[in-house]
């Protein structure tokens, strides 16, 4: 027992020594600023000017891969491999027409009119022919006439998919030379998928159509008359109506797809990306053409009659999501203006002399200066600036204004009615108390963000580093530049100069007595002494705390991880309308994906590819619309050579010869886009070694991560078990949708890990600075309760775990610790009974805390009216953080401290410099000009 008392005594003495040293330092520091405000101001401005040179290395990251995808993710590795090995891809432009029956002639004539406009588009000399994805045209087809020939094949029944559209091998009939001369004369065509192919896009044929001809063509045609490839036109119809025999007789929606070619190696995100980091691979000519396409379609939709037209361009999501991120900046600016007015009301007194217009403006200027220095310093270190960094000024604003309010409140508390001390002494006493308080909160905030920078999400990591630097500079400028300007403003007040017309002096000025009264302090004293600190009041606060904590825990358990890109789209945008209509008429359209194989020895690996393909076809619950070259190649070789490649091993030479013939045949030419070779593929010659081959498929639509993550991992597992043993053994699944899925796979783990580490950092930092275990546990408990309540009530408010909420909750840690830490420090600095100390603490520092919280609420208030998902998410998070942070920090914590609070510091009588120490400040005798 005696040892425990000794340990407690040592801790109390140590904590008193640390706080005493801090307060002594800040007294001297404030005294020096009070003596030399102009030197302080010039030094701060010099630091800003010097740091701004780092902005010469400023780089705004626009590449989505370097912003949103976890570092060292397989998806990043696979994407880099795809860009360098496959080298090209497609961007899809979509047109969706809806009508009571889209299979009527007038609807197709309207579609043909749109088609003509699309083909005639010219964007600064860039036409559809310049940007389209081109594929081979094999427009001669010889139908098989003897159906019984299939009986001679040795294929499995499950793989006989080509008997209706099979063709003779003209190469064996005509000879390779003659056949290849015909093939080489054939043209390529822009890849489009439209029912207009049925009439070869002929304007004359389309204008002479009848409904009977349309329905007949759709029910009978399975091979494209334009490309010569097997094509399923039913996939382009939505809301299909069939007769008793199963034939199509009508439909409510008609989809047309147009493919734009993308050369991955020519993409430069610094030039063609957007500030939101949501751009897709595209070059400047593509973006220009797509903008022209959107302008044309906007005009078409505006003047459409009897039908409705919806559209999507390759750049639609990037443009709309980027605009959504910044579309309501005006609302944020209005909120900041309201915040500025509120600041003036708090820091000023209502008379012409003591109104502090300069001080309120300087407080906001400090935040701007901190932002500039943080950007310069981080840019100098090569840390990129990202789209989420637009929230950084707001974070600095919320915390920086709190620091300013603490300084002003301490000035009022310590110097009200005290006209005997000199101005430097008053400033010294002010920073003696305020400096310690804002130091503790700043250190915990910075440490929390530095720990947050350990995340594997690149954008969040960069943001945390910028935030840590910004918070440090905000703290420095508030403690120096703001205080120095406050000194100059106080000199102005002492000389009775006007607050706006500084040169004008009020003679015989006497302030209004009402402006000398601190109403906020009196109000808090009445509320806490008469209500909160009564026995019923304390009981009610504790019960309310337990209730909110229980509700928060339940909400956190129910909080789901989910993200839908449609949330970034305003309801009035063309893409949102298109997505809604497509989901309505094509509910099972699925998510595009591909399987890629690397430099395998394909002749040896064909059996493994067959087994893998067989497994894939069994996974009907997760994948659909599998389009692969293997089955067609197997059919082709079986029919023309008499071998079954699933069991008969081909030599390397045989495989190279057969695959070349297949890819130039009518049924195989469409798969040329699925191959890359180490050389040129030429008709009549064996194919060069394959560097990449691919299968196309679609993931089925899933409701959330609980469905799509197992589906993604199942496909990865099948590939991992494919047992490739030759070449580079490389195989992977890739699709643009996987960029979101791999992030969703780790986002919840990252969120809880970061928040847990941040809470631990709060505990450690407060322990090191305050050195009082009970006080540290109290602050930690308030932070934990705030985060639990915010997370839980986000669920009740319809929010989910995604990248936006992950960043917002990371910000919450930095904000919520301030409220509790200020109260706890003030409590430790008071003497008397626990209740008296708690009451004194909350009435002295409470006005600053409440002012900071209310100013933050004012700044975000206009965001409640926003249509942007990002802004509404941030509003919900910050609103909950402020409300719960204030409740737990200024209601629950004072009650807790009044019941079981720790003892005060043993010796906290900060001493002013002794006469001999005043020599350090002798230069104050030569006072700077005001």
Q: 535-549, pLDDT tens digit by residue?
A: 999 999 999 999 999
For residues 169-186, b (16+ Cβ closer than 10 Å) or e, as one string?
Answer: bbbeeeebeebbeebeeb
User: What is the per-residue pLDDT across 165-212, written as a single tens digit (0 to 9) for each?
Assistant: 444 566 666 677 788 888 887 778 899 999 999 999 999 999 999 999
Q: Is 235 left (phi over 0), alpha (psi -120 to 50) or beta?
A: alpha
Q: What SS3 state is found at 567?
A: helix
pLDDT at residue 679, rounded to an integer: 93
Task: Indicate the helix (H) or strand (E) that contains 496.
Answer: none
DSSP assignment, residue 385?
A: B
State the pLDDT at residue 411: 87
* pLDDT of amino acid 775: 86
CA dist 821 and 829 (Å) reads 12
Q: Three-state SS for 704?
A: coil
pTM equals 0.85
Task: Provide long-range contacts, Cβ within 8 A and 24+ apart, for 442-446.
Answer: 442/399, 442/403, 442/471, 442/472, 442/474, 442/475, 443/765, 443/769, 444/761, 444/762, 444/765, 444/766, 444/817, 444/821, 445/399, 445/471, 445/814, 445/817, 445/818, 446/471, 446/472
The sign of the torsion formed by the CA atoms of 53, 57, 61, 62 equals: positive
**How far is residue 76's CA from residue 896's CA, in Å, rounded to a whole number?**
50
How is residue 536 written in tokens? Answer: 């019923």
Contacts of the segment 570-576: beta carbons below 8 A, 24+ positions apart: 570/320, 570/324, 570/327, 570/867, 570/868, 571/867, 573/320, 574/294, 574/297, 574/298, 574/301, 574/310, 574/311, 574/312, 574/316, 575/312, 575/316, 575/317, 575/320, 576/320
Q: How far is CA 349 from CA 118, 223, 495, 518, 651, in A?
A: 66, 83, 16, 10, 93
* pLDDT < 70 positions in the chain: 1-16, 139-174, 326-327, 415-419, 511-519, 814, 906-930
**Which residues is 136 bridged to in the sheet?**
188
Give SS3 for 172: helix
What's residue 511's pLDDT? 67
């Amino acid at each position: 027992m005696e040892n425990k008392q000794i340990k407690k005594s040592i801790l109390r003495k140590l904590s008193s020594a640390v706080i005493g040293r801090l307060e002594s330092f800040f007294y001297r520091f404030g005294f020096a600023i009070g003596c030399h405000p102009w030197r302080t101001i010039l030094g701060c401005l010099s630091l800003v000017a010097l740091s701004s040179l780092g902005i010469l290395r400023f780089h705004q990251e626009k590449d989505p891969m370097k912003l949103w995808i976890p570092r060292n993710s397989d998806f990043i590795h696979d994407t880099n491999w795809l860009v360098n090995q496959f080298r090209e891809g497609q961007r899809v432009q979509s047109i969706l027409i809806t009508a009571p029956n889209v299979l009527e002639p007038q609807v197709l004539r309207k579609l043909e009119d749109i088609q003509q406009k699309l083909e005639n588009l010219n964007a600064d000399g860039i036409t559809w022919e310049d940007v389209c994805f081109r594929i081979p045209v094999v427009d001669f087809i010889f139908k098989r006439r003897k159906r019984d020939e299939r009986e001679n094949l040795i294929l499995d029944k499950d793989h006989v998919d080509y008997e209706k559209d099979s063709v003779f091998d003209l190469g064996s009939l005509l000879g390779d030379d003659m056949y290849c001369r015909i093939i080489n004369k054939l043209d390529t065509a822009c890849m489009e998928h439209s029912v207009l192919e049925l009439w070869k896009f002929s304007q004359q044929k389309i204008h002479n159509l009848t409904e009977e001809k349309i329905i007949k063509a759709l029910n009978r045609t399975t091979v494209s008359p334009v490309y010569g490839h097997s094509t399923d036109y039913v996939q382009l119809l939505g809301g299909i109506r069939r007769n008793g025999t199963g034939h199509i007789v009508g439909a409510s929606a008609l989809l047309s797809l147009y493919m734009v070619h993308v050369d991955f190696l020519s993409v430069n995100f610094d030039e063609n990306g957007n500030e939101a980091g949501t751009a897709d691979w595209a070059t400047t000519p593509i973006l220009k053409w797509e903008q022209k396409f959107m302008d044309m379609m906007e005009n078409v939709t505006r003047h459409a009659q009897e039908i409705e037209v919806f559209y999507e361009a390759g750049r639609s999501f990037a443009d709309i999501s980027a605009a959504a991120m910044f579309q309501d900046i005006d609302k944020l600016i209005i909120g900041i203006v309201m915040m500025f007015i509120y600041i003036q009301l708090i820091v000023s007194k209502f008379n012409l002399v003591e109104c502090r217009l300069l001080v309120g403006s300087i407080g906001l200027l400090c935040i701007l200066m901190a932002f500039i220095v943080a950007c310069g310093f981080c840019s100098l270190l090569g840390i990129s600036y990202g789209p989420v960094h637009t929230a950084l000024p707001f974070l600095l604003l919320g915390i920086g204004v709190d620091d300013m309010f603490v300084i002003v409140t301490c000035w009022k508390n310590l110097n009200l009615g005290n006209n005997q001390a000199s101005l430097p002494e008053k400033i010294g006493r002010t920073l003696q108390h305020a400096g310690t308080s804002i130091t503790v909160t700043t250190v915990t905030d910075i440490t929390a963000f530095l720990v947050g920078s350990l995340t594997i999400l690149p954008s969040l990591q960069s943001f945390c580093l910028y935030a840590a630097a910004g918070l440090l500079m905000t703290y420095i400028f508030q403690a120096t530049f703001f205080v120095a300007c406050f000194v100059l403003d106080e000199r102005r007040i002492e000389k009775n100069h006007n607050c706006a017309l500084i040169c004008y002096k009020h003679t015989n000025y006497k302030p209004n007595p009402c402006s000398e009264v601190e109403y906020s302090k009196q109000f808090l004293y009445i509320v806490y002494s008469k209500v909160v600190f009564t026995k019923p009041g304390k009981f009610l606060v504790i019960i309310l705390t337990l209730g909110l904590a229980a509700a928060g825990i339940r909400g956190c358990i129910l909080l789901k991880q989910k993200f839908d890109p449609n949330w970034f789209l305003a309801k009035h945008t063309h893409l949102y309308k298109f997505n809604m209509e497509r989901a309505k008429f094509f509910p099972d359209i699925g998510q595009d994906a591909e399987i890629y194989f690397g430099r395998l020895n394909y002749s040896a690996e064909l059996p493994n590819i067959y087994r893998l393909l067989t497994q894939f076809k069994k996974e009907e619950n997760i994948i659909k619309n599998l389009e692969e070259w293997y089955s067609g190649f197997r059919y082709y070789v079986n029919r023309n050579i008499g071998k079954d490649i699933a069991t008969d091993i081909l030599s390397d030479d045989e495989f190279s010869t057969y695959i070349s013939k297949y890819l130039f045949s009518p049924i195989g030419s469409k798969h040329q886009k699925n191959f890359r070779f180490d050389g040129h593929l030429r008709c009549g010659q064996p194919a060069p070694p394959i560097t990449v081959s691919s299968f196309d498929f679609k993931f089925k639509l899933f409701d959330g991560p609980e469905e799509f993550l197992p589906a993604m991992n199942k496909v990865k597992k099948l590939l991992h078990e494919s047992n490739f043993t030759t070449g580079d053994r490389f195989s992977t699944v890739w699709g643009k949708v996987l960029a979101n899925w791999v992030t969703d796979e780790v986002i919840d783990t990252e969120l809880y890990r970061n928040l847990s580490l941040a809470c631990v950092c709060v505990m450690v930092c407060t322990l090191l600075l305050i050195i009082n275990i009970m006080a540290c546990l109290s602050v930690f408990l308030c932070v934990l309760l705030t985060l639990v309540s915010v997370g839980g009530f986000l669920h009740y408010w319809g929010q989910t775990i995604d990248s936006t909420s992950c960043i917002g909750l990371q910000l919450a840690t930095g904000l919520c610790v301030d409220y509790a830490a200020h109260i706890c420090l003030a409590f430790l600095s008071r003497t008397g009974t626990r209740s008296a100390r708690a009451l004194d603490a909350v009435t002295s520092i409470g006005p600053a805390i409440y002012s900071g919280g209310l100013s933050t609420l004012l700044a975000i208030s206009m965001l409640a009216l926003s249509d942007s998902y990002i802004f509404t998410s941030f509003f919900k998070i910050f609103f909950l953080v402020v409300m719960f942070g204030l409740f737990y920090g200024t209601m629950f914590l004072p009650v807790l401290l009044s019941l079981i609070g720790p003892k005060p510091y043993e010796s906290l009588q900060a001493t002013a410099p002794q006469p001999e120490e005043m020599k350090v400040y002798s230069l104050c005798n030569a006072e700077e000009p005001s």
